[in-house]
Structure 1
Amino acid sequence: MSSSSASLTLFFFFASTFLNAHAFNITRILNLNNEFSTFNNLLSQTGLASTINSRQTITVLALSNDAVSVFSDQSTEDNKKILSLHVILDYYDIKKLKNLNKKSVILTTLFQSSGQAKGQQGFINATVMSNGDVMFGSAVPGSILDAKLIDSVATHPYNISVLHISSYIPIMNPEGPSDHGSSSSPLPPQPPGDDDYTYDEPPSPPSSTTKPVVAAATAKANSTSGVSAITTHNLAFAFVISSFWFFITVW
């Protein structure tokens, strides 16, 4: 093999590694904690795992094994719809949620992007309560907030955040909520434009000093990853193209 061919082979190897450095795998992340094994299997069965992995920026609201019993009596298609409501199309970790500019934010989910949602069904409401708790619920007006943020499962700024919540978020009737057995207090009406109510905030700016962190859902199993976060895929692509042109010119 000539020196130029060897150099090109080496270049493409490192270029491929660089382009995929930002990638994450939700199945592997959840495999680190058996508490989410059923939720993890449901993501694979419904095909949502591969959809999540194909995204550049995502937040997954994960459910522990004791909170997914409702999915055992439903079809795979119905499970996919509900689970897709637990996938937010933006990066939100605990710090970002706790420091919302406004106490409530409406978040766009994968269910909304599927085109099957009606009205506000594809959005969820995240609200910081007076006691500091972060609660989630359907954005359908009048819906309740009964899914509580428990802790962080994994973060890879600013690509993926996996948050542990206490209970699943149901798909509500777009014309108004129906009772699904919760004792939580109803969410006060908050029409768009209210001072305490806003839609998706822009993604947080990337930081070259931030490293991905993997944290167990319980305080006994915290762990940290040392792989530096990659900012944008476009930057990587530009780097590869310019480097490729350099190699072609030289050899």
Structure 2
Amino acid sequence: MQLRGGAAAIFLAVLIVFPTTDAFNVTSMLDKHSEFSTFNHYLSVTQLAPEINRRRTITVCVVDNPGMTDLLAKHLTLGGIKNVLSFHVLLDYFDAKKLHQITDGSALAATMYQATGSATGSSGFVNITDLSRGKVGFSPEDNGGNISATFVKSVEAQPYDISIIQISNLLPSYEAEAPAPAPSQVNITKLMSAHGCKVFADTLAGSPAETTFEGNIDSGLTIFCPGDEAMKSFLPKYNNLTAADQQSLLEYHAMPFYESLPGLRSNNGLTSTLATVGNKFVFTVQNDGTDVTIITKLVTAKIINTLVDNQPLAIFQVNKVLVPPELSKLGGLAPAPAPGPAAESPKSSKSKHKSPPAPPGPSESPADGPDGDVADQDSSGAEMVQIGGGILGALILTVWSTFLPL
């Protein structure tokens, strides 16, 4: 059935006013495959994922979690890790069929690392070779022809925008791995003390948690420090906790990766902390317009000030102490929340003193209680609605129903 002139014109206008979003989301595509959770995590925290999503005709060569071990053992900065992962993003589309039909048996592909302008000579190119017995090899162009990795399988594909394929191991790129200048040595407690968080800073300075904070700065750290008045009123309850619980509470105020304020506004959902073990000691990041809140089952705290936001370190002031529900009974902090459905797994993240938890499912956030705090509800919260899609759908249906009889 065809729309007549007026209906067609309005229908086209609706599509122009409400343009489509990115054709794909690489991290969402990889969320379906837990064996690549570490690779996927670093696509997010290095901010490489948004750059991939803005491109078309692209191939992401992923490795599984064990394959990432050697890279993480090198303790590269986030900038160094981003360079390495960029070297595994080819600026051309290769699915399994195309890999086995390479003209003349080999092809040279530019990478996103080459596109940064940081690569010298041919160091940003990957050579793909169709080997005997159906195998396909990958190697850096400057690797003397030695095969460094082989094709394992296709993971996801959206022809001909993006192909995600698994290769056997990471490709060596000594130039990409070259250490970037280390971040300036920041005294985080001194910095917090000078910007309205002295009580929290003094408390942190007397705890083993300070070592955990400092040990994560180079690889990425985001701190939420309560203001002085909030921390002062909480100190009596804090002093009732055991030493181990005090450390957990302090470490609960930081995420073991860097996240900017715009990143917090766009990446809502359940998130791990320095204190995270499994599904415990996690909280939810949620935004309301430009406001960002940190939500536990016991407290909803708002970011009210930015102290530092310079990768790999961000420090934000919040208006309340973040209270993990795991300590509610131990320290008499608040009534324990009512049992809910099994907690959702938090975002996978890297902490130098704990293994990262499993990656989450789709981001969900709990609703606030009447006083702004959260209680008696599951951490996974309510489903978020895509506003733009609803408006577009409503307008299209209105146009359709109005002009269909014509």
**Normalized against structure 1, the TM-score is what?**
0.62
Contact 2:119 2:175 in 1 (8 A): no
Cα RMSD between the aligned structures?
A: 2.5
Query: Structure 1 residue 68 and structure 2 residue 68: aligned?
Result: yes
In the other structure, the counterpart of 1:108 is 110
Cα distance in 1 for partners of 2:33, 2:76 equals 25
Contact 1:138 1:172 in 2 (8 A): no
- What one-letter code is carried by the residue in structure 2 that aligns with 1:86? H
> 1:80-114 CA deviation, whole Å, 9 max, x = no partner?
11110100001111100100111111111001110
Cα distance in 1 for partners of 2:25, 2:17 equals 17
- What one-letter code is carried by the residue in structure 1 that aligns with 2:152? I
In the other structure, the counterpart of 2:119 is 117
Cα distance in 1 for partners of 2:31, 2:13 equals 31
Displacement after TM superposition at 1:9 (Å): 7.2
In the other structure, the counterpart of 2:55 is 55
Q: The residue matched to 2:137 in structure 1 has which SS? A: strand
Structure 2: which 5+ runs fail to align?
A: 1-6, 177-406
Query: Structure 1 residue 142 and structure 2 residue 141: aligned?
Result: no
Displacement after TM superposition at 1:7 (Å): 8.9
- What one-letter code is carried by the residue in structure 1 that aligns with 2:102? L
Contact 1:150 1:165 in 2 (8 A): yes
Displacement after TM superposition at 1:10 (Å): 5.4
Cα distance in 2 for partners of 1:21, 1:158 equals 17
Displacement after TM superposition at 1:22 (Å): 6.7
Cα distance in 1 for partners of 2:88, 2:20 equals 25
Cα distance in 1 for partners of 2:175, 2:14 equals 51
The number of aligned residues is 170
Q: The residue matched to 2:109 in structure 1 has which SS? A: strand
Query: Structure 1 residue 14 and structure 2 residue 12: aligned?
Result: no
- Higher relative contact order (Cα pairs below 8 Å, separated by 6+ residues): 1
- What one-letter code is carried by the residue in structure 1 that aligns with 2:46? T
Show structure 1 runs of 4+ deviating over 3 A.
6-17
Change beyond 3 A, Cα 1:160–1:16:
farther
**Normalized against structure 2, the TM-score is what?**
0.39
In the other structure, the counterpart of 1:209 is none
Cα distance in 2 for partners of 1:16, 1:35 equals 40
Change beyond 3 A, Cα 1:133–1:49:
same
Change beyond 3 A, Cα 1:25–1:146:
same
Cα distance in 2 for partners of 1:142, 1:44 equals 32
Cα distance in 1 for partners of 2:17, 2:43 equals 27
- What one-letter code is carried by the residue in structure 2 that aligns with 1:155? A
Cα distance in 1 for partners of 2:21, 2:83 equals 30
